[in-house]
Structure 1
Amino acid sequence: MPNETMRTSTAGLSALRAREGAILHYYNDIANNCTFGVGALAHHGPCTEEEMRRPVSTADVNAQLAVSVRSAEAAVRRQVSARELTQDQFDALVSYTFNTGPTGAHPALAAANAGLDEQVVAHMTRNVNVHPRDVHGRRLRAVRSAGLVNRRREEAAPFRIEARAE
């Protein structure tokens, strides 16, 4: 398998942390889901008052991030096994999988596996909506996120034809 020993690079991990941010407490993310640290979903729906007061240590954030990144790396290696990725492509797919989960990333990962870079870009750049939740945790209508538009542009860049031509 061509990508079986790949790991996220230092630059890739730094980019992921910058995209996500590191917050040392529980908060409600853009979709009104209870989140902490580097984009770690605590649960669907808003945080309780108790959770909002709960501090999160740097060690907690780093431990959670390490587990989540390793899980995303494993999903990328497992689903992109027929084609060798560049380090930038691997890092981008790990960031995308970290953010969307392996199920959400599956269409882009399948396209990457098949060497269909234009489809990778198309799948990534379409995945820019969030589904907010109301105070009871019920899903509301999807909303386009400008932050995700920018993030997907960055994540898709290593798969654009002009990026490979340089």
Structure 2
Amino acid sequence: MTGKHGQATTSGPNASMKMSPEARARMRATEKAIYRYYNDLGKNKGNCTWGAGILSHKGVCTEDELKKKVSATMVDQEFERRVGEAERIVQRNTIKAVNQDQFDALVSLTYNSGGRGARDTFDFVNRGDLAGAAKNISSMIKVGVMEKGKKKYVVAPGLIKRREEEAAPFRVKDDKKNADSK
């Protein structure tokens, strides 16, 4: 089992789970393949990224990086490697059982925001607070950018729809409340 984030887990309720082929295909379609390095928020903005939303490093790309091309094979291999890494992070950091849709959403979130970025969501899930997890995921639509030497947070329009899709499996219908109001 796991104690704190980052500790290795040999067993746990989600240790054998993998991202479903359907969710993997959806995420791969969302993460459009770009066969070069680029800044994820546009010219001179955001973080240096390549391929299928693969973070190269925080901060904008250098001029040399912007000239760098990558092959379809490189993109496919790195996408698969990073999905596997995200799966292992979710397996290690969830101590409550989740269903397949929730696991898929957590892998997508972790692929995009990293293990540290998903930490608060793992905490909500581990406390059994699925509504809190959904709310937290939905709020994760801002990214840090450097402007004139200062870091500021801006809404990344592409994250709005993605976060709503990732939050959806954690939205709990309050069936008891609905039954009581009848």
TM-score where L is the length of structure 1: 0.89
Counterpart position of 2:180: none
Structure 1 spans left out of the alignment, 5+ residues? none
Match of 2:167 among 137, 156, 166: 156
The structure with the greater share of residues assigned to helix is: 1
Aligned to 2:38: 27
Report the counterpart of residue 111 of structure 1 in structure 2: 124
The separation in 2 between residues aligned to 1:34 and 1:163, in whole angstroms, is 42
Q: Which has the higher contact order (CA 8 A, sep 6+)?
A: 1
Q: Distance in 2 between matches of 1:140 and 1:102?
A: 21
2:6 is matched with none
Q: CA RMSD in A?
A: 1.9
Describe the SS at the equivalent of 2:23: helix
Moved over 4 A (4+): none
Alpha-carbon distance in 1 for matches of 2:58, 2:115: 17
Cα distance in 1, alignment partners of residues 130 and 160 from structure 2: 18
TM-score (norm 2): 0.81
Query: Structure 2: any 5+ residue segments left out of the alignment?
Result: 1-11, 176-182
Asked which structure has the greater CA Rg, the reply is 2
Change (3 A) 1:79 1:133: same
Corresponding residue for residue 128 of structure 1:
141
- Give, as a single letter, the amino acid of the residue that structure 1 aligns with 2:107: V
- 1:61-72 equivalences under 5 Å are 61-72=75-86
Counterpart of 1:49 in structure 2 is: 63
